Structure 1
Amino acid sequence: MKYTLDDFARLIDHTNLHADATHADMKKLCYEAKKYHFKMVAINQVQSAFCSKQLAGTDIDTGAAIAFPLGQQSIASKVFDTKDAIKNGANEIDYVINITELKAKNYDYIKDEMTQMVDVCHEHHIPCKVIFENCYLTKDEIKKMAEIAKEVKPDFIKTSTGFGTSGAKVEDVKLMKSVVGDTVQVKAAGGIRNSDDFLAMVRAGATRIGCSAGVKIIEALKQRMKDDGVTSIDIKTEY
């Protein structure tokens, strides 16, 4: 598939999830998202109203992170926070799974949590992304989570919060994609800081990239295309 610069930009969830982010930081994030035509701004839930106002009248989504970054909230709390974020203008949701219950092999709990989160998002016609936080999971646990997702059908499964011990890995993206196929999309996030890493994730099957280095990445791809005298880059997936 051939990607133009704008196609690449529309893969990016432009991210600022830092606890000390100021209103000025949020304004800058939204300004950059509009300037580069990113798909979404990824922010903490409490910033939903502020950012949705900044992005009003654009096709850039406001993505609220739920139970971030630990996932250690009850299902009821996650559902409540999701509804609150939507009420305040969020139109995409990324939530962190309960890793404790996954480690306990309580797959019914994981499925119930995912089902309730997907249902509330889809009731409002917005995407739901499930954050696995792969750095804490075995390959078998990643595979099991992907199998549950294939059945429940969230819009995306996501590698990482970016706040764990490591971020997205190409082999994990390929594994996740190999399980869900075309049923669910894969989002890579965490530690993606340059254009080479970005392209590697796309080749591995990611159709959304969460990162705080989106401006740097798009500028590098723009220069690469200029140097090569092309207006698009052909990406062949490897999964």
Structure 2
Amino acid sequence: MMRKQNKKNLFFPVFFPALKIMAKSTTDITYTQLAKVFDHAILKPDQTTKDVEQGCQLALEYDAKSVCVKPCDVKQAAEILKGSSVLVGTVISFPHGNSPTSAKVAEALQAVQDGAIELDVVINIGHLKSGLYDTCQKELETIIKACKAKQPNVIFKIIFENAYLTKEEIVKACKIAEAAGAEFVKTSTGFASSGATYEDIELMRASVSDHIQVKASGGIKTLDQVLTFLEKGATRCGSSSTGQILEEFKKRNNA
């Protein structure tokens, strides 16, 4: 189903105030500003501890905003990145969101204890599609409340997996995530049949308040994709191609 496109241009001053990005559009963005858009993904099932180490070193080299690692790798990433500006993130109930609430809470609390400061939590997709909106919201509230009681600064990004959702369900998921207390809404895990789309970012941006940020994830491989996602209203991009994209930016801008 084709989603109606919002024609309004969405530039940095509206959605990046907390990040102090002053660019008037993506044509003005600096390397540092762009690098701090990236959550460098290290999430493939077959990635080893050596891959985690290399991924963290890459994030340090390119000055990414964060790494997003598997829950079992949080301790390792936290040790490598200790004292740096690169944050440690992980995923909860990934990639399908099917775990019971108690398991999600336990996994999230363990991640915080191990050193994660950003948690990307998969919404219960089946419950969302069943119309169990109160159940979805209460679950997210429970996870968020439990973690913020231990670490008030933890950031929550709620993953919808838009490939499985209708336009109306995406809007509803945005409302649920915001009401539950999340800081971000996020398009995808990167493990479904499709990832982030420009139309989805516009829709999600229009469906949450200005203080809620939007993360694009899934299939992001090029600089032009990233710049377009930012113009559509995203403030963060998850990608395993961080180094290649930032090298593309440097080459294009003689940085």
TM bracket, shorter-chain basis: over 0.9
Secondary structure, counterpart of 1:21 in structure 2:
coil
Are 1:187 and 2:211 matched, yes or no?
Answer: no
Q: Counterparts of 1:109 and 1:45 in 2: how far apart (Å)? A: 24
Contact 1:64–1:92 (Cα < 8 Å) also in 2: yes
In structure 2, distance between residues paired with 1:81 and 1:107 = 22
2:43 corresponds to: 17
- Verify: 1:158 aligned to 2:186, yes or no: yes
- Give the secondary structure class of the aligned counterpart of 1:68: coil
| 1:223 corresponds to | 251
CA offsets 1:192-211 (integer angstroms, 9 cap, x no match): 00001111111111100000
Equivalent pair of 1:153/1:184 in contact (CA under 8 Å)? no
RMSD between aligned alpha carbons? 1.1
SS of alignment partner, residue 154 of structure 1: coil
Q: 1:128 to 1:121 in 2, by over 3 A?
A: farther
Q: Report sequence identity in percent.
A: 38
Long gaps (5+) in structure 2: 1-22
The answer as to whether partners of 1:117 and 1:128 remain within 8 angstroms in 2 is: no
Q: Which residue identity is paired with 2:208? A: V
Amino acid across the alignment from 1:86: V
- The TM-score with structure 2 as length reference comes to 0.87
Q: Which residue of 2 aligns with 1:197?
A: 225
Given candidates 91, 95, 98, the residue that maps to 1:72 is: 98
Tell me the residue number matched to 2:199.
Answer: 171
Q: How does 1:53-202 map to 2 (within 5 A)?
A: 53-123=79-149, 124=151, 125-202=153-230
Structure 1, 117-126 or 35-44: larger mean CA deviation: 117-126
- 4+ residue stretches of structure 1 with deviation over 6 A? none
Change (3 A) 1:187 1:150: same
